[in-house]
Amino acid sequence: MAQPSSQPAPRPTLGITMGEPAGIGPEIVVKALADPAIRKLAKFVVFGMNELMAYAADLAEIEPYWGRIQHDSPRTNFDFVHDVIVLDYDEFSLLGQTIHQPTRQGGQASLAFLKDATEAATPGSSRKIDAIVTAPICKESWHLAGVKWPGHTEMLQALTHAKRSVMMFCAPKLNVALATIHIPLLTLENELTIGRVFDPIDLGHQALVAMGYDKPRIAVCGMNPHASEHGLFGDEEERLIEPAISAARELGIDVSGPYPADTIFIDAIKGRYDLVVAMYHDQGLIPVKLLAFDDAVNVTLGLPLIRTSPDHGTAFDIVGKNIARPDSLKAAIRLAVKMAGGR
């Protein structure tokens, strides 16, 4: 009988996108990967700008620990000696170190980082990236650059030709998945469908099982105050949300609701549920950010690749002050490693 191997499992390779160059992306990437405990988890390929990383390292008094290769060099076969390699997009270097606001070129740069990382992580790619972790982008910079997608999630779905995608947030005491994401609140009644409620239940269930939950317990929010009080404040609960819950139950998923959104998160925090499905962006994100602003992780479900991200923005107001915290990016890296191991 063969003996189990004593060799440790090979470390995954993670692609890290710098995000908006004028934001805190360079700083948090440098600080997160400077942690030896993080670098032991994986090998890292940073899609970004070496100049800005070196500047952030100098401010933080961190000795540069990475190798550099021009992003379009034939040497980028991803079989690197270093634990951390920066694929340098130095054609965007005129952004400099003092522009802390949305720009067209910032949008072009962050888009280039993301497109190349996505291509490298897509199944079948010769570059063999096991997951991507994305630093924050600036949606206004994307708009100035002519990008049509309102955020990472929508663009990743388009780039990977995924039939559906869901935004989920994981925090130490609360997991939340969204039925709708970047849409104006006044258009919600036109955007919410049975399918849009079903997808975060279904994909959220699959994701939690992959993360080690035996039988995830899922609670679904109502859209209206008090979950409409049996139709007193709207019919979306009966017309859209309850059919989605019934469809998920037929698949054996442990899901219940719809519940009033002003109380269900309390039950989840107390451990009665493993996931809450919220109907719109702020309904789900306010409790997550109140509880775990520095620790929450954004995960895109439904893609053919693994993608995680810190749950915060570009923080233009603190760029260059060496006070940005890398906690959320570290949490995103740890979760990406865990999910890559699960696959």
Give the fold, CATH level 3, of 9-162+303-343: Isopropylmalate Dehydrogenase (3.40.718)
Res 27: pLDDT? 97
Could you state, in order of their start, the residue ranges of all structural domains in the chain?
9-162+303-343, 163-294
Res 148: pLDDT? 83
Q: What is the mean pLDDT of each run of 10 residues along the chain (343 residues)?
A: 56 95 96 97 96 95 94 70 90 75 93 95 83 95 89 90 94 95 85 95 95 93 80 78 97 97 96 97 94 90 95 90 94 94 64
Q: Note the helical H segments in the chain.
A: 25-33, 36-39, 50-59, 104-121, 139-144, 152-160, 188-191, 194-210, 236, 242-250, 261-269, 281-292, 327-342
Same fold across 9-162+303-343 and 163-294:
yes
Reported pTM: 0.88
The CATH H-level (homologous superfamily) assignment of domain 163-294 is Isopropylmalate Dehydrogenase (3.40.718.10)
Residues 6+ apart with CB under 8 A from 31: 56, 60, 62, 324, 325, 326
